[in-house]
Amino acid sequence: MSSKEFGSSSAKIRLLSVALMGLGLVALVQQQILLRRPPRLRSVAIQSMRSGAAALEVRFSRTMNRKSVAENSGLFPDQPHQWFGQQDQFRLLLDPGALIRSPQRLVLAGDDQRGLALPNHSLWWDPRSTLVAVVVEEEGEQLKLRRKDGSWLPLSSIEQRILQLEPLGNGEGVAFVTDNDPSKLDVLLRQLTPRAISDQAQQLAEPLPGAIQSLASGSLLFAHLSSNQRGELLVQVGGIEAGSDRTWIRSVNSKRRDLNLEVAGAIRLLPDGSGMVVPSYDGLDLLPMNPDRNRNASQSLPGSRELKSFCTGSGRAVLLRNWPDYRRSIELVIPGQPPRQVWLGEAGVMATACDNRGEKIWIVLRDASPTLRDELLLLNSSGTVLKRRSLPGWYLASGAILDVDPATNRLLTVMTDGDGMQRRAALIDGSSLEFELLKPQVVLARWLPAGGELDEFSKVRR
């Protein structure tokens, strides 16, 4: 190599070294700027799985000091609450005893691990569930949503009959089954955009109706729906022909996954999305969400048992057991423990419900001797009756369930009068057991959970 070529090569190396040093200096400067920049609020989302009255998932741009966030943030009106989590992801959990009667204003503040302060942010949040019902019209039945002011918003056309409705657990839709022709059912989904969280109070509103999607249609004898709090939807349908039964799960992103299961009844999805309860001829089977891949993970509970309700934040559930001597018992199932009997008797068990933690259980009993009478009981997890109330002149409608809104501690069901001419949605206070009957006449009623997310604190997304 000549001296001229060597000099040229050395110059290139020096230039490359200078360029690399420059890039390193720029990166160092950028890093120092980022380190001195205050932390940012990345997203806030309503969290459905909780053991308290309501919860929010809060994400920051960097690791935060949880104690500082807890001390400097505030709820208005004030509610008993706690902060959980670590690093950049926290959870605000309202205590089980909190009662939400109006939208909540949350002011977020606090320091990160370097002591840099988060600029104060305010947002508004309404964790109360929304009532959806099948309302009786002159021409038939119609799915409607009840606004906070008491007015009703139609979510479907008027159908001859609506047999079932199932709100999605993330608040993003309501699935329902219509029956307009003999031996022909339609399974439909009205998609909704939740608007229960916003950076502006005036933008809080009931969910915004979207498109209606057909999930199944044709010569069907039955259809059953179940959703979990992730927003996944299980669909079971069966036709006249042998082998026409089909079961599949619709994911949150609308993808379909078929299940190859032989069952003896309606399947229920576990609230947390980890599995499903499948009735068998020997009892109840607990299967994972992918039973074909994880058959060894299944569990069984033998006996003549029926799943009545989930305690959604604790993994607990309430079962009805039928005994050979025609008595019935209510059992509380606690993970890792044998079923705990909390009630035993000869009365008919019309419906049950439990709070998120499985500490309170509500039961509607029916006694036909000497006259037909329904009674509502409130029990604790040990089976002690805390309160009881008869329902004079009104009875739980056939097929009605007890649905719980933990944010307001209210039960929702459908009641009918003694002549069966009136069917009304009933709101029941979970503590006093006092109830209020709503107009108009309805066939079915359920709570639609609150949902929504603020992304980068600038827009609401589904």
Please give the Cα distance from 377 to 69 (Å, whole number).
41
In this prediction the pTM is: 0.90
Buried b (16+ CB within 10 A) or exposed e, 244-270: ebebebbeeeeeeeebebebeebbbbb
Q: Which is higher by pLDDT, 13 or 161?
A: 161
Q: What is the pLDDT of residues 248-287, one digit of tens each?
A: 999 999 999 999 888 888 999 999 999 999 998 888 999 9
Would you state the pLDDT for residue 460? 46
Digit-coded pLDDT (tens) for 14-58:
666 665 665 555 555 455 545 568 999 999 999 987 889 999 999
pLDDT band, very low/low/confident/very high, at 3 (cuts 50, 70, 90): low
- Residue pLDDT, tens place only, 195-224: 999 999 999 999 999 999 999 998 898 999
Is 1 or 398 the better-scoring residue by pLDDT? 398
pLDDT (tens digit per residue) in 322-379: 999 999 999 999 998 999 999 999 999 999 999 999 999 999 999 988 889 999 999 9
**Element containing residue 29 per DSSP (H, E):** helix 3-36
**The pLDDT value given to residue 35:** 58
Strands of 184-193's sheet, edge to edge?
Answer: 162-167, 173-181, 184-193, 208-218
User: For residue 411, what are the contacts with CB-CB under 8 A and spacing of at least 6?
Assistant: 353, 362, 402, 403, 404, 405, 427, 428, 429, 430
Tell which phi-psi region holds residue 433, choosing left (phi > 0), alpha (psi between -120 and 50) or beta. Answer: left
- Average pLDDT taken over every residue of the chain: 90
pLDDT in tens, 62-110: 999 999 999 999 999 999 999 999 999 999 999 998 999 999 999 999 9
- Which residue spans within 168-255 are E strands per DSSP? 173-181, 184-193, 197-198, 208-218, 220-227, 233-239, 246-250
pLDDT-based confidence at residue 182 (cuts at 50, 70, 90): confident
If one compares 173 and 12, the residue with the highest pLDDT of the two is 173
Average pLDDT of the residues in 134-147: 97
